[in-house]
Amino acid sequence: MHRAPCDVLRGVVRERTVPRTPIEGAGNTFGWLGIVSAVQVTGVLGGEVILPCTMTKNLVDAGRRSEYPISSVHWQRKDRTPRTVLKLLPSGVTYTVLPAVSRALVQTSLIGQGIFSLHLKNLKERDAGTYYAVGKCGKSKTECLVRLRTVEVIQFPGGPLPENSAVNLTCRIVGPNNSSTSVRWLHRGNLVQPSSRISVIGRNLHFHSLTQEDHGEWSCAVDGVRSSVTLLVVGISGPDPLAIYTAIGSSVKLPCNITHLPMEKGFHWSKDAKTIRENKQVVSLNNVRPEDAGSYQCSISYKGKRLTRHIELRVIQVSTLGSMFTKEGSHLKMLCNISGSTGKERFQWTGPSLPDGQRIVIKGPEVDLPDVRAQDSGAWTCSVYGMNEHLGEVEHWVYVHAAQTADVGSFTSWHILLILIIILVSCLAAISFISFRNHKRRLSHLTALSSIDTSAVSQPKNVSVSE
């Protein structure tokens, strides 16, 4: 067995000495103490604490000069049974009370240096109380008195909570001298100040109406330690109302994303106050049309609260005066407009790339091309802007063909298409006629062959008999 000899104490331990005082709850077992190190320790439930107990350098040196410089320590609870918590004998044998097995220990490698501190892991509320320790190093002895308190934050009601609901956080302190202890509340590390929504009453933090901003970690700070709880606020993410701009013919998703919801429940969707048969968080629209624009609403009920979000869908489209298939020299107007517009949007047109790499930029919703040129052919983009953001855009293609000669200049694209159709029909008719004629020839040939074969079979043979 390893026996810890006394050694010189390395480091400094601050102690507060108190006069001869009866030990709390000790009765007549230990009576009056001499010089005792009185320390108060606060720990967070589930965490780890150290109950300090060290011997002064002078006592350690005196112990080393003893005839038997062997160390031992005895930790006890003075306010609750069982009394003994941990006992390390001079022989090196350690005894630990059953409720503290695997949770309480003294670092034996430091005993010889006069450090008898008790380590408590996985701190429980029942660990709060007054502890008394006697540490020995040879003939030297030191006594330590430690008052342990536990702290935790309790949320009521618990679990994820919907927006606009009320909740109370309590900083629960258990142990000696807890009545006059002050606490500080922190949110994500910042000191909490009372407001119209949040009240601080003693050790209680009361929320009158939760918002998404309240989501996150809330801590109660006591004596330099913090106990925390994470508030989960169930709500629909994003602004309300949410404005979505999309181009005609595109695909768009209308989100109704619920934050921190344990499981998907029944979603209810409507458009312009008319019910839509959708029961999902996200509604998808393909090949968007102007009539898809409007006011959408999604809602869900959770713990007695109805969560609602409004979505404004606005469709960007381009109307033209003239054909998208146009010829040089003609007149073309393009107007960018929005179904469901607020009237506050700003427009900007960007034309196709010019030979020098530049692009035409036109402010406003309208593009007026009185004399269309070949370089105007290509994609024209209408971008829509809000106050400080890009809202959406739509792309419109313009096809420009060269002007024809005077003989055929009167022909339009429609005439050319008609001529092509006539030529195609004529070709199909000719092919059908030739196929029909070949079919008749094959039938005539087969008929002739059948006649020849029949004649050959039916013709009787002449037989001559000579007598």
pLDDT digits (tens, 9 = 90+) for 165-178: 999 999 999 998 87
Q: Is residue 411 part of a domain?
A: no
Tell me, what's the pLDDT at 114? 92
Same domain for 186 and 297: no
Same domain for 185 and 105: no
Confidence of residue 458 (pLDDT cuts 50, 70, 90): very low
Same domain for 40 and 135: yes
Q: How many domains, the chain? A: 4
Confidence of residue 420 (pLDDT cuts 50, 70, 90): confident
SS3 of the chain: the string is CCCCECCCCCCCCCCCEECCCECCCCCCCCCECCCEEEEEEEEECCCCEEECCECCHHHHHHHHCCCCCEEEEEEEECCCCCCEEEEECCCCCEEECHHHCCCEECCHHHHCCCECCEEECCCCHHHCEEEEEEEEECCEEEEEEEEEEEEEEEEECCCCEECCCCEEEEEEEECCCCCCCCCEEEECCEECCCCCCEEEECCEEEECCCCHHHCEEEEEEECCEEEEEEECEEEECCCCCEEEEEECCCCEEEECCEECCCCCCCCEEEECCEEECCCCCEEEECCCCHHHCEEEEEEEEECCEEEEEEEEEEEEEEEEECCCEEECCCCEEEEEEEECCCCCCEEEEEEEECCCCCEEEEECCEEEECCCCHHHCEEEEEEEECCCCEEEEEEEEEEEECCCCCCCCCCCHHHHHHHHHHHHHHHHHHHHHHHHHHHHHHHHHHHHHHHHHHHHHHCCCCCCCCC
Same domain for 214 and 267: no
Q: Is residue 194 part of a domain?
A: yes
Among residues 99, 122, 150, which one ends one of the domains?
150
pLDDT digits (tens, 9 = 90+) for 346-384: 999 999 988 888 889 999 999 999 999 988 999 999 999
Given a cut of 50, is residue 454 above it in pLDDT? no
Same domain for 77 and 146: yes
Which residue segment(s) compose the domain that 194 sits in?
151-234
Confidence of residue 464 (pLDDT cuts 50, 70, 90): very low
Same domain for 220 and 293: no
What average pLDDT does the structure give for the chain?
83
Q: Is residue 355 part of a domain?
A: yes
Q: Is residue 69 part of a domain?
A: yes
Q: Is residue 52 part of a domain?
A: yes
Tell me, what's the pLDDT at 416? 76
Q: Is residue 410 part of a domain?
A: no
Same domain for 282 and 170: no
pLDDT digits (tens, 9 = 90+) for 202-258: 899 999 999 989 999 999 999 889 999 999 999 888 888 899 999 999 999 999 888
pLDDT digits (tens, 9 = 90+) for 272-302: 999 998 888 899 999 999 999 999 999 988 8
Among residues 134, 150, 166, which one ends one of the domains?
150
Same domain for 268 and 214: no
Same domain for 137 and 37: yes
Same domain for 376 and 332: yes
Q: Is residue 220 part of a domain?
A: yes
Percentage of the chain modeled with pLDDT above 70? 82
Among residues 181, 214, 234, which one ends one of the domains?
234
Tell me, what's the pLDDT at 449? 56
> Rounded mean pLDDT of 55-64?
91
Same domain for 270 and 351: no
Same domain for 183 and 130: no
Q: Is residue 391 part of a domain?
A: yes
Where residue 96 sits, what CATH number does that domain have?
A: 2.60.40.10
